[in-house]
Structure 1
């Protein structure tokens, strides 16, 4: 099964991340354990196995880790990113130089486990919103240097990406408003310099702030840390004129109730700042 195009990872992100991770692991001396034990011409095969139910993500990185050490290694995917796997499932088989398989094991599993953890957690949040129109989105609360990879894992889990950085969308937060001297001043300055293709989102904490924000030509309102009753009022007040996004205090226990208020988006920082790495292993095939 081929992955949908929206689930493809740019090669330059994969190669850069893997090269940096291997440099960190190998240092100046290389894998002194493997190189001392395994003959240079030995060959072997192994499988990546998930030890718990998972939404799969990160196979590109696992493959790149082994191929960086053995360009002729074969990497057979038994399941694709974005699909679900049960505990004990082999998701890929690798064959090649034994040294490459042993040396690349931890780098491959670190990336794979991290991205599967994000995708699996995202899928859990998405499942709680079934029957509503709300979409689950990630935030910029990502591991420095790995944002593109982690946001990809969110998409594998059925979520969507919020802005990638400070450069691709405007989000006017409370501190921007305070520093600018007020919402009107902040938005007037923005409109004077921001192109028509750039979306503008404004964070509000109260219904009064929402009413003020709706007087301006904005695209999205971020409804921050509102209780359920206030969220419902905010959605009604917005009246479909802008996209509504709920944020703050979102957990697996609360996300369903938040989605039922009618908000369009629910942003969840936990998807990328607090996932548990998936338990996986490289099982040697004799």
Structure 2
């Protein structure tokens, strides 16, 4: 099966996987496997889904096995970004039994975690059906794993917010307070930003939104922690003037009613910080 998404270069992912393998193998390697598995023993293993979901992390799982032993034959059957059913085989690994066992836990840790993010994201996206609203993640990611967790959001049908603080100007409430208000903070941001840099500003009230629209200079407004009726009014005020993003308390049960307001984006940290690991297993 051809992956529906362009894969990241292995070169980017290998350092993450290598660090995880070194952590797991410790100072002396897999002492259990060395003690009980003959060096010439070979096996055919299958990485199986034990629950329904959306697959992510197959590329990383394959890298884990190949870093342990380049001679292993690894074949991905269900590509990243593809729905899976419980009982389906996602990947086969053939070769040295010892090598497979050494790579097993790291491969499953990555694949289960990332598939959980993709699966939760797909649930959020399903709640926006029939609207133009897009689901996006935040920077509330596991330190060191942001690039793969954000990739998993894409695999679930979502979109990415900033990768880092350097990607765009996002003016939060503390920036506004420290700068003396909406007008001075937007003026300073616009004077500093290049023509390639977008500016987003957070507001908590309709009065703040009115100030943003009157001042100008922002490309996106983040409507933070508003109840749905207030959010509806905010979207109507901003329509045709500025891109809108709803954030704060964006839980799965609420997504449908928020998307119905016509907001352009819904951002939720839950996609990455609250996703349940998808149950996967390696069977010989």
* Distance apart, 1:127 and its partner CA: 0.4
Contact 1:7 1:155 in 2 (8 A): no
* Structure-2 residue corresponding to 1:113: 112
- Determine helix, strand or coil for the equivalent of 2:46: strand
| Runs of 4+ with deviation above 4 angstroms | none
* Distance apart, 1:219 and its partner CA: 0.5
Distance, in Å, in 1 between the alignment partners of 2:35 and 2:159 is: 46
- Determine helix, strand or coil for the equivalent of 1:105: helix
Mean alpha-carbon deviation: is it higher for 253-262 or for 177-186?
177-186
Distance, in Å, in 2 between the alignment partners of 1:193 and 1:251 is: 35
* Distance apart, 1:41 and its partner CA: 2.2
Is 1:50–2:49 an aligned residue pair? yes
* Structure-2 residue corresponding to 1:221: 221
TM-score (norm 1): 0.97
Distance, in Å, in 2 between the alignment partners of 1:67 and 1:239 is: 51
The total of aligned residue pairs comes to: 283
Distance, in Å, in 2 between the alignment partners of 1:34 and 1:268 is: 42
Is 1:251–2:251 an aligned residue pair? yes
- Determine helix, strand or coil for the equivalent of 2:74: strand
Give the gaps of 5 or more residues in structure 2.
none
- Determine helix, strand or coil for the equivalent of 2:210: helix
* Structure-2 residue corresponding to 1:81: 80
Distance, in Å, in 2 between the alignment partners of 1:118 and 1:208 is: 36
Distance, in Å, in 2 between the alignment partners of 1:50 and 1:8 is: 21
* Structure-1 residue corresponding to 2:280: 280
* Distance apart, 1:67 and its partner CA: 0.4
Distance, in Å, in 1 between the alignment partners of 2:271 and 2:47 is: 24
Contact 1:132 1:262 in 2 (8 A): yes
* Distance apart, 1:28 and its partner CA: 0.9
Mean alpha-carbon deviation: is it higher for 151-160 or for 87-96?
87-96
* Structure-1 residue corresponding to 2:233: 233
Contact 2:10 2:63 in 1 (8 A): no
* Distance apart, 1:227 and its partner CA: 0.8
Give the gaps of 5 or more residues in structure 1.
none
* Structure-2 residue corresponding to 1:179: 178
Is 1:165–2:136 an aligned residue pair? no
Distance, in Å, in 2 between the alignment partners of 1:46 and 1:38 is: 15
Distance, in Å, in 1 between the alignment partners of 2:88 and 2:148 is: 23
* Distance apart, 1:10 and its partner CA: 2.9
* Distance apart, 1:7 and its partner CA: 3.9
Mean alpha-carbon deviation: is it higher for 264-273 or for 235-244?
235-244
* Distance apart, 1:224 and its partner CA: 0.3
Distance, in Å, in 2 between the alignment partners of 1:72 and 1:259 is: 49
Contact 1:13 1:149 in 2 (8 A): no
